[in-house]
Amino acid sequence: MNIHRRLRGVAYQAFYRLPHSVRRRIVRLVVPKYLVGAVAIIRDAEAPDPGRLLLLRQPPGRSWGLPAGLLKKAEPPAVGAARELAEESGVVIAPEELTPAVPNAIVHPKGWVDTVFLGSVPASANPLVVDGGEVLEAGWFPLDDLPRLTRNTEVVLGIYGLGPRATQPTR
């Protein structure tokens, strides 16, 4: 056994002898930190193929993105996705009606993780309501004629085979 392995073993033994609260503080200092968000990819249940997608225009307002936001402490991801969807667009959907996308989590290189959920609602029965501050505008867009998207939205949609990066590498 080499010296590095032996030292590593001794370090782990010492670490696990520490009280749980001390180990937790050490881990929080050493491990990279990530913000965790929830994203909703919502389709219009009434639209013919290829379908329509709900998008939002947020400040500064040059590109369009998906309903999304950070999770609150201890908030289940599907609950956060449903909450952000309602807050940002006025579309109300129960968390249990959202389906976890596959993959469900996307780790972004700049330090956040998005949990992604899929859903559909009939656009005619769900009027779009925005606050004019956090969200400037919301709309339903044909998947084959999407407006200018934020880079992150292009990446996320591309992972699920949608949008301009559907056939391109995601990073």
The reported pLDDT for the residue numbered 64 is: 97
Claim to verify: residue 66 and residue 127 sit in the same structural domain: yes
Q: H or E stretch including 141?
A: strand 137-142
Claim to verify: residue 22 and residue 66 sit in the same structural domain: no
Which residues touch 38 (CB under 8 Å, ≥6 apart)? 68, 69, 71, 77, 78, 80, 81, 84, 114, 115, 116, 117
pTM equals 0.81
What domain range includes position 19? 1-31
The reported pLDDT for the residue numbered 132 is: 84
d(CA 25, CA 111) in angstroms, rounded, equals: 20
Claim to verify: residue 146 and residue 114 sit in the same structural domain: yes
**Tokens of residue 135, six digits:** 């969200």
**Tokens of residue 14, six digits:** 């010492």
Claim to verify: residue 40 and residue 27 sit in the same structural domain: no
The reported pLDDT for the residue numbered 171 is: 47
The reported pLDDT for the residue numbered 167 is: 66
Q: Please identify every stretch of the chain with a pLDDT value under 70, giving residue numbers as ranges.
A: 1, 167-171
CATH code of the domain in which 142 resides: 3.90.79.10
The reported pLDDT for the residue numbered 168 is: 55
Claim to verify: residue 72 and residue 111 sit in the same structural domain: yes
Claim to verify: residue 83 and residue 121 sit in the same structural domain: yes
Tell me, yes or no, whether 64 lies in a domain.
yes
